[in-house]
Amino acid sequence: MKKAQKILVTAGAVAALAVPAGVLASPAAAAGRDGKCNSGEFCYYYNSNEAGSISDFTKSVADYGKSQPSCYEFKGAGRGKGKCVKNNAASVWNRTSKTVRVYFNSNYGGKYQDFKAGAKGNLNSTLKNNNAAHKIGPTSTSGCSTSGTGDRKSCAQAVAWAKAHVHTNNQSSYYRTCDHLVGLAYGWSASGSTTAYVHWTQIPSHYKHAGSSSVPAGGLAFFSGGSGHVMISIGGGKFISNDIHGKGTYTVTTISEIKSKWGKPYLGWAQPWFKVNH
């Protein structure tokens, strides 16, 4: 009887040892924050061309932190190991099944760069060593929307208004009134902002798409430089703007024409949010 009990105890000990081994095997195959770029993860590299130390993530992160010991750091072997990820990454590998968006500012703000599922690549000149957040599966920015803006007209109605008012002669009410004109398109007698640039700074960040030139019909494209400039998109990379083809005119143009002819830096586009009703 004692021999039988000893055999049972020994078998039980073997089983107890076997269970932890099985438990450890599964997480190792999909471990996060281990310095290895595993399937299902989004990974930063310290150097360009996917070189140097790796920092791997399985979730979106709005703020990486600025300093140790609280920051997200590079964990893999190689140059950069132990450094904070924020403003120190040069390239990425997106091994998730969704698009990942890298942001210039924390809390998913400012200019951004998208990496499709499976993509490898270097961060562009704006984001290289200026990465502050990333979002896995960002909300699509493909369409114009008046949701939450309280606008009196829809995006389609605003585009129709702009097209109906195109003209090539000098009409004084159109001269240097770009921000007023986009307000009129959306049913407002005034935009509520003193200049186009001020308008851009007043728009809440979640309505803005800084740096993006893929502007949907109805979206508002903004430029800096002095008082700035704003114009409405009619889709397909085309916009309707005042003054670009002569004082007081209202004609079809492009972002590149505004930049080259007027020398105004492009800021990005925004949903039709106006200060006048906020």
Q: Is the dihedral of CA 126, 136, 61, 139 positive or negative?
A: positive
Residue 104 CA to residue 102 CA, distance in Å, equals 7
Alpha-carbon span 256 to 11, nearest angstrom: 76
If pLDDT is split at 50, 70 and 90, which confidence band does 109 have?
confident
Position 1 scores a pLDDT of 42
Query: Over the range 214-240, which residues count as b (16 or more CB within 10 Å of their CB) and which as e?
Result: ebbbbbbbbbebebbbbbbbbeeeebb
* pLDDT tens digits, 119-144: 999 999 989 999 999 999 876 556 89
Q: Residue 29 has what pLDDT?
A: 40
Phi, psi of 181 (to 5 degrees): -70, -40
Q: What is the pLDDT of residue 128?
A: 96
pLDDT at 11 over 60: no
Q: In what order do the strands lie in the sheet with 229-235?
A: 208-210, 266-270, 220-223, 229-235, 238-242, 250-253
Hey, what amino acid is at 168? T
Between residues 57 and 9, which one has the greater pLDDT?
A: 57
- Per the prediction, the chain carries an average pLDDT of 88
pTM exceeds 0.85: no
Q: Determine the pLDDT at residue 24.
A: 34
Lowest model confidence (mean pLDDT) among 33-42, 192-201, 210-219: 210-219
- Residue 17, pLDDT score: 36
pLDDT digits (tens, 9 = 90+) for 165-214: 999 999 999 999 999 999 999 999 999 999 999 999 999 988 888 888 88
Confidence of residue 218 (pLDDT cuts 50, 70, 90): very high
Architecture in CATH for domain 42-136: Sandwich (2.60)
- For the residues 19-25, what does the mean pLDDT come to? 35
Where do the CATH 2.60.20.10 domains begin and end in the chain? 42-136
Do residues 203 and 212 lie in contact, with contact meaning Cβ atoms separated by under 8 Å? Answer: no
Write down the CATH number for the domain with range 155-277: 3.90.1720.10
* SS3 (DSSP) at 39: coil
**Residues in the chain, overall count:** 278
Q: How far apart are CA 226 and CA 66, in angstroms?
A: 33
Percentage above 90 pLDDT, the chain: 73
Q: Is pLDDT at 14 greater than 60 in this prediction?
A: no
Q: Where in the chain is the domain with CATH 3.90.1720.10?
A: 155-277
Helix (H) or strand (E) holding 117: none
Report the amino acid identity of residue 114: D
Q: What's the CA gap between 158 and 241, in Å, rounded? A: 13
For the chain, give percent helix, strand, coil, nearest 5. 25, 25, 50
Helix (H) or strand (E) holding 98: none
SS3 category, 28: helix
Residue 31 has pLDDT above 50, yes or no: yes
